[in-house]
Amino acid sequence: MKRKMITCLIVMAFACSSLLLTTSCAKKEMKAWSKKAFTTKKAGEAVEGEAAAPVSGRDARMQELEKARMIAEEMRIFETTNVYFDFDRSDLKAEAQDVLKKKANWLDDNPRYSLRIMGHCDERGTAEYNLALGERRAHAAKKFLMALGISGDRVYTISYGEEKPDDPGHSEAAWSQNRRDDFLLIK
């Protein structure tokens, strides 16, 4: 919960600073930027088909802020997209594999980040059994990421067993939300 709140605060800070910068100088007309401009254009360079005009310091700062906002949003989505498991199982379902493929692509594009995978279980079973099952679930995700080319040195696992439920309820709907792997990016 703290992690989600911190991420939201960072995104809000970038959004507020961007809004402040764009409204403080309303006399100057700003062009809309495409996502391609942020990934291919550096300060002072022109995008394909655009005249080579120098980018002002303010425009370069705006681009940096927007890029930082986009990365913060990507990280928020990365960390809040969990992988879920069936009861008493640690094998990855097709949906889980799709999620992990997207995470592997993001990690390939952002090599300075490492990943902590946290395995969880529902409340059924002994504490020891659930810790072992949570560990198997986290390792299953790690093995899959490694098979996709992510170095094992960048992926850490931990099991919380039943200790950190996402839903404190005592029904199948709650339990299905608690049988999961959570993800945390580490810089």
**Which domains occur in the chain, in start order?**
2-77 (no CATH), 85-186 (3.30.1330.60)
Judged by average pLDDT, the poorest of 1-10, 69-78, 133-142 is: 1-10
- Which amino acid belongs to residue 126? T
What is the residue-averaged pLDDT of the chain? 83
pLDDT at 51: 54
Task: Locate 116 and state its tokens.
Answer: 């902590």
Task: Specify whether the CB–CB gap between 121 and 161 falls below 8 A.
Answer: yes
pLDDT at 57: 85
Which residues are registered as beta bridge partners of 158? 118
Residue 33 buriedness (CB in 10 A; 0-12 / 13-18 / 19+): middle
| pLDDT bucket at 46, cuts 50 / 70 / 90 | very low
- Which amino acid belongs to residue 38? F
Task: Specify whether the CB–CB gap between 64 and 14 falls below 8 A.
Answer: no
Task: Locate 41 and state its tokens.
Answer: 């254009």
How do strand 83-84 and strand 180-186 relate by DSSP bridges?
A: antiparallel
pLDDT at 27: 43
pLDDT at 172: 96
| pLDDT bucket at 137, cuts 50 / 70 / 90 | very high
CA distance 47 to 76: 28
* pLDDT tens readout for residues 68-126: 999 999 999 999 999 999 999 999 999 999 999 999 999 999 999 999 999 999 999 99
pLDDT at 13: 64
pLDDT at 16: 57
| pLDDT bucket at 53, cuts 50 / 70 / 90 | low
User: What are the CA-CA distances from residue 115 to residues 128, 134, 154, 179, 185 (Å)?
Assistant: 25, 16, 6, 19, 5
